[in-house]
Amino acid sequence: MQDSVVPATRPAAGILRGQFLWVTVGTCALVFLAAFESLAVTTIMPLVSRGLGGANLYALAFAGPLATGVIGMVAAGNWSDRRGPTAPLYTSVALFVAGLLIAGTSVSMPALVTGRLVQGLGGGALTVALYVLVARIYPGALHPRIFAAFSAAWVVPSLVGPFAAGIVAQVFSWHWVFLGVVGLVVPALAMIAPVLRSLAPEVAEAGMTPWAVGRLAWAALAAVAVLGLNLSAEVDIPGIPAATAVLAAAAVGVALLAVRPLVPHGTLTARRGLPSVILTRGLASAAFFGAEVYLPYLLIEQYAFSPTFAGLTLTAGALAWAGASAVQGRLGGRLPHRTAVGIGALMVLAAVVLALATAALHWPAAVAIAGWIFAGGGMGLLYPRLSVMTLALSSKENEGFNSSAMSISDSLGGALALATTGIVFAAFTTTAGSFAGVFGLAAVVAAAAAIVAPRVTAKAP
């Protein structure tokens, strides 16, 4: 497979023209709403926990959806390979809406966590179903543009989501942060319903891939391992001083064991081609999100920034992500996939190293802030290209599996990084040491992503 399958010439139709207009608007709206909900919940969860008296379930409200999302990804991928994306997409939206309704009407923390688990199951399946829909509907020449649009739809909520959620919670109630989204999901699905109906006859005539019961079981085990890693920091076993470290290492080992059947063969050993595409995606996610969570914390604790001002750093990174996504989408084949992914990985590494230096050497905060703009730009370059490569390296029979593998790599990479950095942060006795440890771990992961990135092509140029 050549490094780029996108023609250098501009396609005759764009993603907002002709038959692609409404499906583009509808799919981007679904991505936007899923991203908005994720960011909005982060903003209101302290208020929810205080109101429902469920501080002990606070972490599970975040870890739970991430874990059940892995199961949803595998199920939707397998189902899409059997019957196409129509039924998985309808089902995933139904589960997502059901989770919103359960959470939005909750009067206890256990009920809210249950809603979040259902919401995560639907959200994970939704991502995979949308990727398969893109493969079936859009020509390959438009893939860079639609994935750039997805990236922008995921990034834009970071600009408005937290603020909007805070206003809704203060003026009305936190319940409406969940319930209000329901009324927007249905119109978004209606926009793509005609296209989904047109796919049904074609899928019905195709042969079916068998149900992968084993992969579903491995996905459940991976989900349990992710939850275990997130909760291991709370475990204190008398007589075993290193209980947290032992349990964390065991959870990571189980997660890596469980993920092997869920990704292409050779992913964990960075085999050239699709396996390295999937691995680079997971490593980049782990490095970026593992560091991003602690950057505002660093600015508040060591540089006395206000939370609003510290949050603007992430906004700057989000804008850079959206801008770089748009640029790489317009460049198409003029920017080879391998080059885009390699440059993006190096930009993320440079940004995390600058954050590490800022924390360890007490450099001016502006260094880390400027660096995070590079991190956002790097993710904007590599994320859409890795999505394009995944579909380009897939056949119609395994589009669902490979799209599922990419999403799983995203989810598990970020989840394992966040859980591990939490343990590292708590292990140090000084604040400066904790931040340096977190960014140091993220830098190691980012370096691994930069090393693997050149292997995303089957052959070296």
CA distance 240 to 249: 14
SS3 441: helix
CB contact at 8 A, 419 and 255: no
CA distance 411 to 69: 8
- The token pair that represents 212 in the structure block: 């992968």
Q: Quote the pLDDT of residue 242.
A: 63
Q: Quote the pLDDT of residue 270.
A: 93
Q: Quote the pLDDT of residue 403.
A: 80
- The token pair that represents 5 in the structure block: 């399958």
CA distance 221 to 216: 9
Length of the chain: 461
Residue 402 sits at the vertex; the CA angle it makes with 133 and 125, to the nearest 5 degrees, is: 55
> What are residue 109's phi and psi, to 5 degrees?
-65, -40
Chunked mean pLDDT (size 10), the chain, 461 residues: 38 69 87 80 70 68 77 84 83 92 88 89 88 82 81 74 71 84 88 79 52 82 80 57 71 88 92 95 91 82 75 79 85 86 96 95 92 93 90 79 84 79 78 90 96 85 47
Burial 126-144, CB ≥16 within 10 A → b, else e: bbbbbbbbbbbbbeebbbb
Q: What does the DSSP assignment read for 164-195?
A: HHHHHHHHT-THHHHHHHHHHHHHHHHHHHHH
Torsional class of 84: left (φ above 0), alpha (ψ -120 to 50), beta (otherwise): left
For the entire predicted model, the pTM comes to 0.73
CA distance 179 to 210: 37
CB contact at 8 A, 421 and 359: no
Q: Quote the pLDDT of residue 307.
A: 61
Q: Quote the pLDDT of residue 204.
A: 42
Q: What is the largest CA-CA distance in the chain?
A: 69
Q: Quote the pLDDT of residue 100.
A: 92
